[in-house]
């Protein structure tokens, strides 16, 4: 394993070296290839000027003499070329110099690059060709000492830039890596704090890098979620302990009374024990259902259900309870609404929702249950005029073990897992559930099943 700082340094240096070497190669290739076309064209133009000059000298002197040849030699020397004159039989009759002369012209460089390349042009006089003019130049585009010095200087500059860039890469990589690593180290430390459940001690991560900021926010949100879940678990432990303690205490007191002969085990006392045992059984069943829901092991036994009949049966079973509490119970159930689903699961869903409406609606309140078949959905609604749900709690009501402070203070029982199970069963039927509520003004539960 290697640290990020060293890795970044290696990458910076490698990229810098590669870039400088690449630029150096491209520059040299450009000079030797692309620039050569320009030089060749320029030389062709200069050759034509030389030919015109020779022809002009020949014409002015009506031939070649020592003075005219001297002029041509001086001109050739000034242009750094060798001029050769050939007669009509293509034999060299005069030359402005030799390769050694060119050697001197080019500054005494012994390189083989000074080998000459001649180009031939017609030698015309009075519109008639009288011979050939050869113009010789070095084969290499870069042949003079100045040209070679220029190219050498460019490469020295590239070498200096290479060394300077490597130094800058080493220094900057440390600074840049520190800029990125500081928030990463803080995020890493925050992860350790979360592991140790020290959610309140997270470090504040400041960075202007979007990805690191996003990661930091995600870690912080994870910590808040875990802290919240930890609090829910503690509350759940307390609630379940209470739910277990009450029926067990009742059963224990009744059995002890039977054993001591204080009470006779009559039907009334045994019914009380039976109800408490049923309460314990229901709690265990709810916990078992929650386990199945969280492990995605919901198995539905689907069949075509007359949803209208199912809801009417559930509503009728609750009517005595609502009457005993002086709650006005209203049914608006459309007839013959059918749905493909699991009757037992749906019965559990609607029973749980109506049970909540009963528990949290005060005496003389109103509870409405409705079923309506719309164009695209089958909608079930349960609306009450109960205590309602605080606005800040609505988004949490489907979370496991969650109970608002209002429901806890009323002593209505429950562990906060009923709506979690309800939501899972509805979604298993490709349905959606939402809650509209206002504290003190009641709650409305809306369930939509796709047709």
pLDDT, residue 408, reads 45
> Above 60 in pLDDT, residue 410?
no
pLDDT, residue 311, reads 94
Fold assignment, 303-450: Heat Shock Protein 90 (3.30.565)
Position 403 confidence tier, pLDDT thresholds 50, 70, 90: low
> Above 60 in pLDDT, residue 81?
yes
pLDDT, residue 111, reads 40
pLDDT digits (tens, 9 = 90+) for 41-63: 888 899 999 999 999 998 888 88
More confident: 15 or 65: 65
List where CATH 3.30.450.20 sits in the chain.
Answer: 4-163
pLDDT, residue 113, reads 40
The mean predicted confidence, pLDDT, of the chain is 82
Mean pLDDT of 69-96: 90
pLDDT digits (tens, 9 = 90+) for 123-180: 998 888 999 999 988 877 665 666 677 767 877 887 887 788 777 777 777 777 777 7
> Above 60 in pLDDT, residue 86?
yes
Q: From CA 373, how far away is CA 336, in angstroms rounded?
A: 10
In the chain, the percentage of residues whose pLDDT exceeds 90 is 27
Position 7 confidence tier, pLDDT thresholds 50, 70, 90: low
pLDDT, residue 166, reads 75
pLDDT digits (tens, 9 = 90+) for 346-375: 998 999 899 989 989 999 999 999 999 998
> Above 80 in pLDDT, residue 264?
yes
Residue 108 buriedness (CB in 10 A; 0-12 / 13-18 / 19+): exposed
Output the pTM of the full model.
0.49
pLDDT, residue 400, reads 67
Lowest pLDDT segment from 115-129, 235-249, 401-415, 423-437:
401-415
More confident: 237 or 112: 237
Lowest pLDDT segment from 80-94, 201-215, 397-411, 413-427:
397-411
For the record, the structure tokens of 1 come out as 């394993």
CATH tag for 4-163 (out of 2.60.110.10, 3.30.450.20, 3.40.50.10490, 3.30.70.3270): 3.30.450.20
> Above 70 in pLDDT, residue 280?
yes
Mean pLDDT of 75-99: 87
pLDDT, residue 303, reads 92
Mean pLDDT of 318-342: 92
Mean pLDDT of 101-124: 64
List where CATH 1.10.287.130 sits in the chain.
Answer: 210-294
In the chain, the percentage of residues whose pLDDT exceeds 70 is 85
Mean pLDDT of 264-284: 85
pLDDT digits (tens, 9 = 90+) for 371-387: 999 988 999 999 999 99
CATH 3.30.2350.10 fits 210-294, yes or no: no
List where CATH 3.30.565.10 sits in the chain.
Answer: 303-450
More confident: 99 or 77: 77
Q: From CA 185, how far away is CA 197, in angstroms rounded?
A: 18
């Amino acid at each position: 394993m290697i640290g990020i700082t060293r890795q970044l340094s290696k990458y910076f240096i490698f990229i810098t070296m590669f870039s400088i070497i690449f630029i150096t190669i491209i520059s040299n290739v450009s000079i030797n290839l692309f620039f050569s076309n320009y030089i060749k064209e320029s030389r062709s133009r200069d050759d034509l000027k030389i030919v015109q000059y020779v022809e002009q000298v020949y014409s002015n002197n009506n031939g070649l003499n020592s003075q005219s040849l001297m002029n041509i030699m001086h001109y050739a020397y000034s242009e750094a070329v060798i001029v050769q004159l050939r007669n009509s039989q293509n034999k060299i009759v005069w030359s402005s110099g030799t390769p050694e002369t060119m050697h001197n012209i080019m500054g005494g460089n012994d390189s083989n690059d000074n080998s000459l390349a001649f180009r031939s042009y017609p030698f015309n006089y009075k519109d008639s060709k009288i011979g050939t003019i050869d113009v010789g130049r070095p084969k290499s585009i870069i042949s003079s000492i100045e040209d070679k010095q220029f190219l050498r200087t460019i490469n020295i500059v590239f070498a200096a830039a290479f060394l300077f860039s490597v130094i800058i890469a080493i220094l900057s990589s440390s600074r840049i890596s520190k800029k990125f690593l500081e928030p990463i180290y803080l995020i890493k430390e925050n992860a350790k704090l979360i592991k140790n459940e020290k959610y309140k001690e997270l470090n504040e991560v400041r960075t202007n890098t979007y990805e690191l900021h996003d990661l930091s926010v995600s870690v912080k949100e994870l910590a808040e979620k875990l802290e919240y879940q930890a609090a829910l678990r503690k509350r759940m432990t307390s609630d379940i302990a209470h739910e277990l303690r009450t029926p067990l205490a009742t059963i224990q007191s009744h059995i002890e009374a039977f054993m001591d002969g204080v009470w006779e085990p009559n039907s009334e006392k045994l019914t009380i024990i039976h109800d408490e045992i049923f309460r314990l059984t229901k709690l265990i069943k709810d916990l078992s259902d929650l386990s199945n829901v969280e492990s995605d092991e919901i198995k539905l036994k689907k069949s075509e259900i007359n949803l209208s009949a199912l809801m009417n049966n559930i509503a009728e079973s609750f009517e005595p309870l609502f009457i005993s509490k002086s709650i006005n119970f209203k049914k608006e159930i459309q007839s013959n609404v059918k749905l493909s689903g699991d009757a037992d699961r749906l019965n559990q869903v609607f029973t749980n929702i109506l049970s909540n409406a009963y528990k949290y609606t005060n005496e003389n309140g109103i509870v409405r249950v409705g079923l309506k078949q719309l164009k695209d959905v089958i909608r079930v609604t349960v609306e009450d005029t109960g205590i309602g749900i605080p606005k800040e709690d609505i988004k949490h009501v489907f979370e496991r073990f969650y109970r608002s402070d209002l429901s806890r203070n009323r002593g209505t029982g429950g562990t906060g897992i009923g709506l979690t199970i309800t939501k899972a069963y509805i979604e298993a039927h490709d349905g959606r559930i939402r809650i509209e509520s206002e504290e003190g003004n009641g709650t409305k539960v809306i369930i939509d099943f796709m047709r």
